[in-house]
Structure 1
Amino acid sequence: LTLLQTCALSLLVFTGASQFALVGALAGGGNPFTAAAGAFFLGTRNAFYGLRLSQLLALPRSAKPFAAQWVIDETTAVALAQPDRRSARIGFTVTGLTLYVLWNLTTLLGALGAEAIGDTAAWGLDAAGPAVFLALLAPMLRTATERATAGVAAVLGLGLLPVLPAGVPVLVSALAAPAVLWLQGRRTRNKEAAR
């Protein structure tokens, strides 16, 4: 991406996982539409965060479109950890503003300094994004269903990587959740029928 494209991506798509997915798919030679679709689907989890935060924060209607830009993992976690609505609003706003400014500043610095790094493949930096994402995800996998979903998604994504265009395995791995839930429901029905 050009410097302008890189900065615009961080300004408009304020969710790291989606940005990494988009750039990774494009760098792997993926179709831009497929890459954008993968990034979009990764970002849809923020809509679910938004549903919960909308109730918790109870912001004025005019503020909601601006607040929606800051609905990410970190702002949600900070807001939900607060004891009351006022603290939740402050936590959400301070976390959102701080991260948004720092994310975009470091994006600009990174884009300007990327040439100084040289060949990123030699540094293994292509594994840094997924490693950070896995480190953030692992502690959140508490139930067997959550761990099974993550495992199936990883197997689908990695297994299809060599045979599908870049970006498509991420989309297909999203099928892990409904597949695991369907199997779990079927197993529960079979146990109930056996009684």
Structure 2
Amino acid sequence: MGEKQLVTEPEIRETPASDGRPRAAVVRDALGVGVAVGLSGFAFGVTAAGAGISTLQACALSLLVFTGASQFALVGALAAGGNPFTAAAGAFFLGTRNAFYGLRLSQLLRLPRAVRPLAAHWVIDETTAVALAQPDRRSARLGFTVTGLTLYVLWNVTTLLGALGAEAIGDTKAWGLDAAGPAVFLALLAPMLKTATERAVAALALVLGLGFLPVLPAGVPVLIAALAAPVVLWMKGRRS
């Protein structure tokens, strides 16, 4: 009889950057994501101004909230005449996904305790995607930091420019800028839907959101759409 082998979960490699991905490649990918998404802050600034939010309020949202989908959900619901509490609830619910990202990134990055509160502010879709794509911890830290810094600076600068330039642009709906934020979010989300379960959740959420949009107050359909995940998981459990 052969020797028994102990099967363990693979550990994240703590290798120097020279043994993993080249630092230049990590920085290049991180900058690409940060710049591409950061520029869409201009659309948020314009949309926020069109919804009646002041420049100071729009900039405060980008500085303190810093999660694009939640920010667009909030101003979109307000622009549609939704109740502020309902709009805030929808934005908060969308933002809770970052807490789950944080659980995974805390194990991956293992940052010093002193910088964790600051790093938590940068835990969003884009920084998570770049960090998880790296083969080792050092590359993941570099990708997370460069993406977070680039995106945070650009998002806030373009939010200010968009809010200040809203009057010159005119009707934001005529330009289609109110759809820029959701379009960016969907473009980032689509490649992540790799399994049949994930695609089923996305499809059901789309049906629920659009189906209830004409009959429910602004901000409520997105809360209803969130029921897609537990419904699909329950159906999958029943079949198995």
Match of residue 220 from structure 2: 168
Query: What is the DSSP-based 3-state SS (H/G/I as helix, E as strand, rest coil) of the residue aligned with 1:109?
Result: helix
**What number of residue pairs does the alignment pair up?**
188
Instruction: Indicate yes or no: 2:203 matched with 1:154.
Output: no
- Higher gyration radius (CA): 2
Q: How far does the alpha carbon of each residue in 1:86-135 deviate from its partner, in whole angstroms, 9 at most, with x for none?
A: 22222211211111011100101111111111011222222322222222
Alpha-carbon distance in 2 for matches of 1:24, 1:107:
15
Alpha-carbon distance in 2 for matches of 1:64, 1:167:
32
Residue identity opposite 2:205 in structure 1? A
Match of residue 109 from structure 2: 57
Match of residue 151 from structure 2: 99
Alpha-carbon distance in 2 for matches of 1:13, 1:136:
19
Match of residue 133 from structure 1: 185
Structure with a larger share of its residues in helix: 1
Alpha-carbon distance in 2 for matches of 1:108, 1:128:
16
Instruction: Indicate yes or no: 2:203 matched with 1:178.
Output: no
Counterparts of residues 184-195 of structure 1 (less than 5 Å): 184-188=236-240
Offset at residue 159 of structure 1 (A): 0.6
Offset at residue 84 of structure 1 (A): 2.2
Instruction: Indicate yes or no: 2:145 matched with 1:145.
Output: no
Residue identity opposite 2:132 in structure 1? L
- TM-score in terms of structure 2 length: 0.75
Alpha-carbon distance in 1 for matches of 2:74, 2:85:
10
Instruction: Indicate yes or no: 2:80 matched with 1:21.
Output: no
Query: What is the DSSP-based 3-state SS (H/G/I as helix, E as strand, rest coil) of the residue aligned with 1:14?
Result: coil
Unpaired segments of 5 or more residues in structure 2? Answer: 1-52
Match of residue 32 from structure 2: none
Structure 1 vs Structure 2: percent identity of aligned residues? 86
Residue identity opposite 2:54 in structure 1? T
2:169 to 117, 125, 137: 117
Instruction: Indicate yes or no: 2:91 matched with 1:39.
Output: yes
Unpaired segments of 5 or more residues in structure 1? Answer: 189-195
Match of residue 67 from structure 1: 119
Q: Which has the higher contact order (CA 8 A, sep 6+)?
A: 2
- TM-score in terms of structure 1 length: 0.92
Offset at residue 147 of structure 1 (A): 1.0
Match of residue 100 from structure 2: 48
Residue identity opposite 1:171 in structure 2? L
Query: What is the DSSP-based 3-state SS (H/G/I as helix, E as strand, rest coil) of the residue aligned with 1:63?
Result: helix
Instruction: Indicate yes or no: 2:142 matched with 1:80.
Output: no
Q: How far does the alpha carbon of each residue in 1:9-38 deviate from its partner, in whole angstroms, 9 at most, with x for none?
A: 000111111111011011111111111111
Alpha-carbon distance in 1 for matches of 2:134, 2:183:
29
